[in-house]
Chains A and B, each alone.
Chain A
């Protein structure tokens, strides 16, 4: 067990878990403080202790649940799609970040405060637990170690985390990339897709680029000039188009390799596959141009 834990793969999974914990850690201390602020001093201490305890218990319960849920067919794919969305949201700039306050109503009693903390922790912890579950690939040992790392972050490490990401914002970008990579590996491991992916190995590369192009869109979009911004939509859309044809060919038993196409239907299929997206892309660019022009006119008026 010790040698298994010290293997490069396990240490790497642990590094991914720590990274996901860092970037997706919820602001539990703030929630507990806000929920307890209107209570008497004695009750406040009780809420802080039990709130922390309940937050840890909820996180542990969710982590165990995620391991079992991800083992069910279809849930790995759903989890991967959710992770891509989480990574994209993580990288999306938030100009009023420090100014925004958590929407937590101060509680009037101990029970209400505890309920608020449980609900807030469950909502804040979903993305974190999903990411850890995806990285751990069903290993309870890694889940336990992940919890052992995330619990001190929840309880004591918030200031350290804030100082670290404030000094090195590239940790956030790396976290987004690791989430996208985790999503890709979850899709590849999905039991429902495994037989299809074994026959269409090239689709794996398309899926990986699709995951990265959606998850890291806020990053590369910030580096693109205004006239090249449509690429943020066009690139993932083109990849989805190609994947769609790959799936359709599997369903209707059509020859996908263009050099082996022999019938008129197969030639038409290939033409639609490689050129069919062009009119759609032109229509999208035209529509976007119209919307931008209308917005400019409205802003002037």
Chain B
């Protein structure tokens, strides 16, 4: 008797969700899992010095995978939307680039303006 079940689209959200909406939620989930990864790393294991493999993640204290353990939902949602936006732009740019680079078919060769 959930309210959302009055809407068939919402009740079948896993099928009716748009690709961009799905990408956004997937981004949020990825950041949530990364935050739990940061939570799972015990800083005491490494002492004061952070070894090189972890410093790769560390782009300063503010933007770091290790710093994700303090993130809240607002940050997850913002990061998820940024990530999905970036993927969307990359996909769009990539498809445009591929379209330009693709050679014309032999049949259409005579129609290619030179």
Q: Which residues of A contact B (CB under 8 A)?
A: 8-9, 11-13, 15-16, 22-27, 30-31, 90-91, 93-95, 97-98, 100, 102, 120, 124, 158, 161-162, 165-166, 168-174, 177-178, 180-181, 184, 188, 201-205, 207-209, 212, 216, 218-219, 222
> In the complex, what distance in Å separates the CA atom of A11 from the CA atom of B11?
28
Q: List 6 additional A-B contacts (Cβ < 8 Å) besides A8-B74, A162-B3, A201-B41.
A: A11-B74, A97-B6, A97-B7, A174-B24, A181-B76, A208-B40
Cβ-defined contact, A25 with B40, below 8 A: no
Q: Which of A91, A98, A102, A124 is close to B14, meaning CB atoms less than 8 Å apart? A: A91
Contact with B25, one of A9, A24, A93, A174 (Cβ below 8 angstroms): A174
Judge whether A124 and B1 touch: CB under 8 Å.
yes
Query: What is the bound-complex CA distance between A168 and B29, given in angstroms?
Result: 18
Find out whether the CB atom of A169 lies under 8 angstroms from the CB atom of B40.
no
Give 19 CB contacts A-B under 8 Å: A12-B74, A15-B74, A25-B3, A26-B1, A91-B14, A94-B11, A94-B12, A124-B2, A162-B4, A165-B13, A169-B13, A173-B22, A177-B29, A180-B32, A181-B73, A201-B41, A205-B36, A208-B39, A212-B32
CA distance A178 to B73 in the complex (A): 8
Looking at chain A's contact residues, is the secondary structure mostly helix, strand, loop, or mixed?
helix
Whether the Cβ atoms of A9 and B72 lie closer than 8 Å is yes
Cβ–Cβ contact B72 & A162, under 8 A: no
The minimal Cβ–Cβ distance linking A154 to chain B, given in whole angstroms, is: 9
**Are A170 and B75 CB-contacts (below 8 A) given A98-B11, A162-B10, A204-B39?**
no
Smallest beta-carbon distance A234→chain B, Å:
18
A169 with B17: CB separation less than 8 A:
yes
B25 touching A25 by the CB < 8 A rule? no
A-B interface, 7 closest residue pairs, ranked by CB to CB distance from nearest: A170-B21, A97-B11, A208-B36, A12-B72, A172-B13, A205-B40, A165-B10
Show the binding face of B for A, using Cβ within 8 Å: 1-18, 21-22, 24-25, 28-29, 32-33, 36-37, 39-42, 72-77
- B33's partner among A11, A23, A171, A208 (CB-CB below 8 A) is A208
**B73 pairs with A16, CB closer than 8 A:** yes
A218-B73 contact, Cβ under 8 Å, with A97-B8, A204-B40: no
CB distance from A295 to the nearest CB of B (A): 23
CB-defined contacts of B21 to chain A, threshold 8 Å: 168-170, 173
Which residue of the partner chain A has the closest CB to B19?
A170
Contact of A166 among B10, B41, B42, B75 (CB under 8 A): B10
The docked-state distance in angstroms from the alpha carbon of A120 to that of B8 is 22
A170 and B25 contact, Cβ closer than 8 Å, known pairs A27-B3, A184-B36: yes
